[in-house]
Amino acid sequence: MEENKFEFNYKVFTSIDELPQDQQQLLKEAREVTSQAYAPYSNFQVGAVAKLTNGELVKGSNQENASFPVGLCAERVLLASISSIHPKTPAEAIAISYKSDQHTSDHPISPCGICRQALQEFEMRTNHPVQLILGGMSGPVYVIDSASRLLPLAFTSEELR
């Protein structure tokens, strides 16, 4: 028997003020776009903003539906928008933030499993790593060099060949 281990490094900043200017701006945009979320059921508003390799910014927010679970997470709304508006254009970075009237938004949250799969596939499809910048409305910020780091042993298109 053999035992293996997955590990990855990520950066932790104590606040948005410690980030480089371009990352600060992207996280500020993600914080702002949370107000565009349609989340009347969970009251958990998530915003995601991508900076593409062509310099364009694309935004997405979560969209819930009374017929649960047909709602969409902000990350998948964002990826669908990028793929529709800028087909085949990689994203350099995606900032994700959230707010809620019921919970304090003072720490980073991580994409759900479905979104991790979608982000991993997007990286493979565009052949480009996507840096993730994760933060709440205040508090620490995590910077992860590639979204694929969040999904070790991913199910990929390679398994379908």
Indicate whether 39 belongs to any domain: yes
Conformational region of residue 79, where left means phi above 0, alpha means psi within -120 to 50, and beta covers everything else: alpha
Question: What pLDDT, on the 0 to 100 scale, is given for residue 161?
Answer: 86
Helices 74-85, 113-126: crossing angle, 10 deg rounding = 20
> How many domains is the chain built from?
1
Instruction: Please identify which of the residues 3, 32, 56, 75 carries the catalytic annotation.
Output: 75
Residue 56 annotated in active site: no
What is the C-alpha separation between 76 and 84, in angstroms, rounded? 12
**pLDDT at residue 157 tops 90:** no
Residue corresponding to tokens 């980030």:
19
Q: Is residue 40 part of a domain?
A: yes
Asked, for residue 6, whether it belongs to a domain, the answer is: no
Residue 108 DSSP label: -
Question: How confident is the model over 54-101, as pLDDT tens digits?
Answer: 999 999 999 999 998 899 999 999 999 999 999 999 999 999 999 998
Give CA separation, 29 vs 40, 43, 66, 98, 135, in Å: 22, 20, 28, 11, 12
The pTM for the full model equals 0.96
Going by C-alpha positions, the residue among 149, 51, 55 that lies closest to residue 91 is 51
Task: For residue 149, give every residue at least 6 positions away whose Cβ sits within 8 Å of its Cβ, in sequence order, or none.
Answer: 8, 10
Q: Tell me the CATH number at 36.
A: 3.40.140.10
Percent of the chain past pLDDT 70, that is, above it, reads 100
Per the domain annotation, does 119 fall within a domain?
A: yes
Tell me whether residue 3 is in a domain.
Answer: no
- Say if 2 falls within a structural domain: no
Full 3-state SS string of 29-84: HHHHHHHHCECCCCCEEEEEEEEECCCCEEEEECECCCCCCCCECHHHHHHHHHHH
User: Residues near 38 by Cβ (< 8 Å), separated by ≥ 6?
Assistant: 61, 62, 63, 64
Q: Which domain holds residue 149?
A: 11-156
List, for residues 17-64, the tens digit of each pLDDT value.
Answer: 999 999 999 999 999 999 999 999 999 999 999 999 999 999 999 999
